[in-house]
Amino acid sequence: MVGSGGLSIGQAGEFDYSGSQAMKALREEGIDAVLINPNIATWQTSHQLASEVYFLPISVDYVAYVLEKERPDGILLTFGGQSALNVGIELDRMGVLERLGVQVLGTPIRTLEVSEDRDLFVQALKEIDIPVAQSTAVSSVNAALDAADKIGYPVIMRSAFTLGGLGSGFANNPEELRDLAARGLALSPQVLVERSMKGWKEVEYEVVRDGADNTIICCNMENFDPLGTHTGDSIVVAPSQTLTDDEYHMLRSAALKVIRHLGVVGECNIQYALNPNSREYCVIEVNARLSRSSALASKATGYPLAYTAAKLALGYTLPELPNAVTKTTTACFEPSLDYIVTKIPKWDLAKFSSQVNREVGSSMKSVGEVMAIGRTFEESLMKAVRMVDPRWVGFEVFGKRMEKEQLDNVLQKPTDMRLFAIAQAMYLEGYTVDRIHNLTKIDKWFLYKLENIVETHRSLTTAGSVQAIDAELMTRAKRMGFADVHIASLVNSNEVAVRAYRKSLGIVPFVKRIDTLAAEFPAYTNYLYTTYNASEHDVEFDEHGTMVLGSGVYRIGSSVEFDWCAVTCTRSLRDQGVRTIMVNYNPETVSTDFDEADRLYFEELGWERVMDIFELEGAQGIVVSVGGQLPQNIALRLKESGVKVLGTDPENIDMAEDRHKFSSVLDKIGVDQPEWTEVTSVEAAKAFAERARYPVLIRPSYVLSGAAMNVVFEESALEYNLSAAASVSPLHPVVVTKFIEGAQEIDVDAVAHQGRLLVHAVSEHVENAGVHSGDATLVLPPYSLPELDMARLKEIAQKVAAGFDISGPFNMQIIRKAGAVGEKSKLKVIECNLRASRSFPFVSKVLGHNFIETAAAAITGVNVPEPVDVMAQARDYTSVKVAQFSWTRLGGADPFLGVEMASTGEVASFGRDVHEAYWASLLSTTGFRVPREKSGVLIGGDITAPEMRTIATTLSNLGFRLFCSSQVIEEFLNDLPYVSAKRIFFPTKDKRKLREVFDEFDIQCVINLARSRGKSVTDEDYVARRNAVDFGLPLLNNPRTAQLFVDSLAKKMPQGGLRKYVEGRIPSEVKSWREFTGVRG
């Protein structure tokens, strides 16, 4: 079973869901699964599922090594996204699968090839007369005109090798195309001419086929955003809403025909463009594997697609499989939905520098997505908006009011905020539906529904006060998904008052089941959602379970690791005999599989809905500490509302999050912390910075992933950043902390019960303090900490556990500054969260001790284990966790590491020592290409970093050729003994030329040590870093990791680390989890 690796934009948590379901299916059949996936935070890499887990790169070489070592009978390639698929095709081409006698299960390789190769695909669809989107590559203006004549106007022209859509555009006639092609061909040697289907509807079908040719559609979906926006960046509804029966079945029949012709066995996805003014359609693409859309379809229907696909791959037929929801009916049917789901993507573009282009288009930029279930479109949309960002109360105007021209622009060319641009157009500018439709091409049906929300908003505003809202209006508002807090904001009231008044009118939500067949047959499913468009509950509330709040949407800083925590906690509670109720709304997760908890509410995680569910269920209590920061934010309010919050007291959680309270507790228990102050004015900040001396770290309270955090080195920067940081959250003043330069950072993950430390883990950061812990490289066990400090760190953990009377998980970041000879080093706590952290799955899996299982016991107080010191145990292995970045997807962003988190995922590998582990884990990051021997390395950036000398010298000794772009660097490098570097012509504005330069000098790796973000887009260091990621080359931008990388190279090269896979040679890091840790994998 080949996994998908670290989470990145376009390939995220959905593959943990699909892989986990597939392995569950294998397990049911008594099949031993060997899993390769370096993503240590996933559920699929837990010991419950696979018999052997390899935390190794999803690359042809490493998968081949594992195959050679394990000699499995079969291989599953369609559950690990594009990465797994590509590896599979290549392994087949190399003859490895055949030689080792490994059978490809499910969809055959040939089908995968046809679906991936555009020419073969177009040919295959032509054979069965199915129209397909065609593009013609041309390299002259005349050829472009000829191609357009054949295709028919209007056409879209795209430059083949330019990024960011440079030189692309629409042409309605030959004159326009002539101009466009001339410009495009000046930038790129080749342009693609395609039929323009701008404004067409985009529709997807999820298809399941077995080896006996039974074929069904699980679900279809319609994009709110018409063609032109990547489906991953589109708002999507399921099932389709604006298609007639004729259109629905025309596309359905075509889907069956295509999938049968291609020969898929398992699950696949087909995307269409449908002309909104005729029956004309064409196929855009087929994904012959599980995909993000199939995860969404699974959650939208309750039909376990990945599980079913795995069973079909093993040779079952659809009629042989039962419907997993009803148990009594067959899996060979098509779900009927009696609700509507709306998916909205989560972009986190604001987290990156302002250089990032906010437009969304043909390349995906979102980092996660939410799914909301309702019985009206308005209800599901309003829920989804709140799920994407809890600060948004619903479909309203957010952010600065745009000028009309800019507004029209955003409506025409979607950005991550287009939905709210529509809100502005409707609420403030009086645009009609027709006008908005003409600009956006969004089907009017959707816009009419949005207009309904606007009208209800106005009726509420007119009512003026809570008491003036009559039962009819209140019912209408709630049925359209208005939150109590939203209504409150419109009538100058508060959430609690609206809730009380609404209840007095008898207006409450009802709980409905998702049962795959619209209530036609009885189904005792536990897959639930709430709606106001109902008059009775589907379920009885007699279980009084314990609620576990999930993590919500995946975003920068909160991702699959919290899903692992939530799933593990739920399973532990079930093992204790506790009935569990999971609440979460992320369709890419395992926690939203309906068989993980006794009841699953696919619902919002805000106070209103959590209280609704708590009250209806008569729940025993709520666990808020395993879902990341989101559930933590409402912990205190829940307690104040009379909810039994399990684990650490929310008052203490608040103490840890309130800087003043936190600081005074640390002082009281005698734990050191950096100098800090809280200021409400810039002057006060300046005064502190002068006293404590620059640099200082500024940040607002209540943050996750370092939003608006910054290290400033001088007064002008302080002034500038403080105005930016202060505007983030005006309710919270800004904290200014002394930033200690050159200090080491340490992560402590721990569990305590009633203030007594039960277990703790100490991971060492490779980068110095100043790099966000989510972006940092973590080594476990630590490789440079003296024993005395290890003991002192444990002592700090014990003091903190006692000081906050912790029952459950907690995490601290501590900085360490080595003292002078004979002096103790300084250990200062910079951050403490009384909840599970991002590194819990990492430390649990590396140390072979499940911290969340211990935490679950501590939270409930049942079977609490005796304290154990897992750090005291000597280990003959090391594991390194490395962040996975998605820079290539974020055109323009400076690949720079700072206090703001920028990574989208993580991977971790094991090794005999830190070098081997770092080598394997760095290679495990998606897209990492090992440089060839004797190739060129471009060196640049901060030459004051002491590591620069050793890095250059080592690379030179290893036979790499060094290049640089500036005279200063050239002189610096050539001054080093035995090092010679060549300065090269370095065009900063012409990407094509730069590419040629890189090719000419065979530059295959870039080391550019960045001290701060590039000041301009022509800054040489910025250009070097940016193009390293754009050209798909390894980039090392931090002195400490760059040093570790060259040291690892020095160790691995003599062992053949740069050589490709050859039969019979297996590198030493190719060992399973069990082989490393000695614990059953």
Partner 1 sequence: MITRPIFRISRLYRGFATHAGSPAPIPAVLHLKTGQSFTGRSFGAHRSIYGETVFSTSITSYTESMTDPSYRGQILVFTTPLIGNYGVPHNIAPRDSRDVGVVLESSGIQCAAVVVADVAEKFSHYTAIESLHAWCSRYNVPGVTGVDTRAITRLLRDQGTTLGRLAVGTDTTLPPPSEGEYWDPSKENLVDQISTKEPYVLNPAGDVKIAVLDFGAKANILRALVRRGAAVTVLPWDYDFNAIRNGFDGLFLSNGPGDPQQCWAAAHKLRTTMEEWHKPIFGICLGHQIIGMAAGLDAYRMTFGNRGHNQPVLALASSGSIQAGRVYVTSQNHQYALRLQDPFPEGWEPFFINCNDSSVEGIKSTPDSGRHVWGVQFHPESAGGPLDTIGVTHLFYFSLIWFLSNMCV
Q: Which residues bind partner 1 (CB under 8 A)?
A: 212-214, 216-217, 239-246, 248-249, 252-253, 256, 276-278, 318-319, 328-330, 332-340, 375-377, 443-445, 448, 472, 479, 510, 512, 517-522, 533-536, 538
DSSP state of 559: -
> Cα–Cα distance between 467 and 491 in angstroms, integer?
9
Q: Is the CB of 202 or the CB of 747 nearer to partner 1?
A: 202
Q: 275 vs 353, which CB is nearer to partner 1? A: 275
Q: Which is nearer to partner 1, 341 or 367 (CB)?
A: 341
Closer by beta carbon to partner 1, 372 or else 981:
372
Task: Report d(CA 768, CA 745) in Å as an integer.
Answer: 6
Minimum distance, C-beta of residue 519 to partner 1, in the bound complex (Å):
4
Cβ atoms of 9 and 230 within 8 Å: the answer is no
Question: Phi and psi at residue 17, in whole multiples of 5°?
Answer: -60, -50
For the CB of residue 615, give the shortest distance to partner 1 in the complex, in Å: 21
User: Given the complex with partner 1, which of 479 and 499 has the nearer CB atom?
Assistant: 479
Kindly state the smallest distance separating residue 816's Cβ from partner 1, in Å.
59
Residues with Cβ < 8 Å from 485, sequence gap 6 or more? Answer: 393, 494, 495, 498, 606, 608
Q: How many Å separate Cα 74 from the centre of its chain?
A: 30
* Residue in 375, 319, 378, 368 with CA at minimum distance from that of residue 346: 368
CB of 329 to partner 1, least distance (A): 4
Residue ranges with strand state E in 347-390: 368-374
Q: Taking the complex as a whole, how short is the minimal distance between the CB of residue 218 and partner 1, in angstroms?
A: 11
Q: Least distance to partner 1 from the beta carbon of 234, Å?
A: 18
> Rounded to whole angstroms, how far apart are CA atoms 952 and 962?
8
Between residues 207 and 364, which has the closer beta carbon with respect to partner 1? 207
Please, which residue, 444 or 817, has the CB nearer to partner 1? 444
CA distance 233 to 228: 10
Nearer to partner 1, 217 or 734 (CB): 217
Residue 336 vs 664, nearer CB to partner 1: 336
Taking the alpha carbons at both ends of the chain, their separation in whole angstroms is 15
746: nearest Cα among 787, 779, 775: 779
Closest to partner 1 by CB, 378 or 894 = 378
φ, ψ at 853 (rounded to 5°): -60, -45
**CB of 9: closest distance to partner 1 in angstroms?**
32
Least CB distance to partner 1 at residue 444 (A): 4
d(CA 426, CA 397): 9
Q: 842 near 881, Cβ under 8 Å?
A: yes
Nearer Cβ to partner 1 (279/691)? 279
Of the pair 335, 931, the CB lying nearest partner 1 is at 335
Tell me the closest approach of the beta carbon of residue 510 to partner 1, in angstroms.
8
Cis bond leading into 154, ω under 30°? yes
CB atoms within 10 A of CB 859: 29
3-state secondary structure of 379: helix
Q: In this structure, what token pair is assigned to residue 627?
A: 């879902």
- Report the nearest approach of partner 1 to the CB of residue 336 (Å): 4
In sequence order, which residues have a C-beta less than 8 Å from that of residue 996 and are 6 or more positions away? none
CA distance 500 to 963: 70
Amino acid identity, residue 656? A
The least CB distance from residue 520 to partner 1, in Å, is: 5
* DSSP secondary structure code for residue 865 in this structure: P
Q: Quote the CA–CA distance of 294 and 301 in Å, as a whole number.
A: 10
Q: In terms of CB distance, is 257 or 756 closer to partner 1? A: 257
- Surface-to-core class of residue 125, CB atoms within 10 Å of its CB (0-12 exposed, 13-18 middle, 19+ buried): buried
Do the strands 215-223 and 1003-1009 form a parallel or antiparallel pair, or are they unpaired?
unpaired
CB of 1040 to partner 1, least distance (A): 56
By beta-carbon proximity to partner 1, the closer residue of 337 and 707 is 337
Q: How far is the CB of 8 from partner 1 (least distance, A)?
A: 34
Minimum CB–partner distance for residue 299 and partner 1 (Å):
17
Q: Look up residue 1001 and give its two tokens.
A: 């000098």
Spatial CB neighbours of 106, under 8 Å, sequence gap ≥ 6: 76, 77, 78, 265, 266, 309, 310, 312, 313
Q: Which is nearer to partner 1, 255 or 703 (CB)?
A: 255
Q: What is the CA radius of gyration of the chain?
A: 29
Of 389, 771, 349, 746, the residue nearest 553 (C-alpha): 389
- Contact of 197 with 237, CB cutoff 8 Å: no
Greatest Cα pair distance in the chain: 85
Nearer to partner 1, 242 or 641 (CB): 242
Closest distance between partner 1 and the C-beta of residue 458, in Å?
14
CA proximity to 881, closest of 912, 843, 929, 913: 843
In whole angstroms, how close is the CB of 262 to partner 1 at the nearest point? 18
User: Quick count: other Cβ atoms within 10 Å of Cβ 492?
Assistant: 10
Running DSSP on this structure, what letter comes out for residue 1020? H
Residue 43: count other Cβ atoms within 10 Å of its Cβ: 28
Dihedral sign computed on CA atoms, order 636, 639, 645, 647: positive
Residue 931 DSSP code: P
CA-angle at 482, arms to 476 and 488, nearest 5°: 105
Cβ closest to partner 1, residue 338 vs residue 575? 338
CB of 431 to partner 1, least distance (A): 16
Say if residues 815 and 740 touch (Cβ distance below 8 Å): yes
Comparing CB distances to partner 1, the nearer of 40 and 217 is 217
Q: Least distance in Å: CB of 375 to partner 1?
A: 5
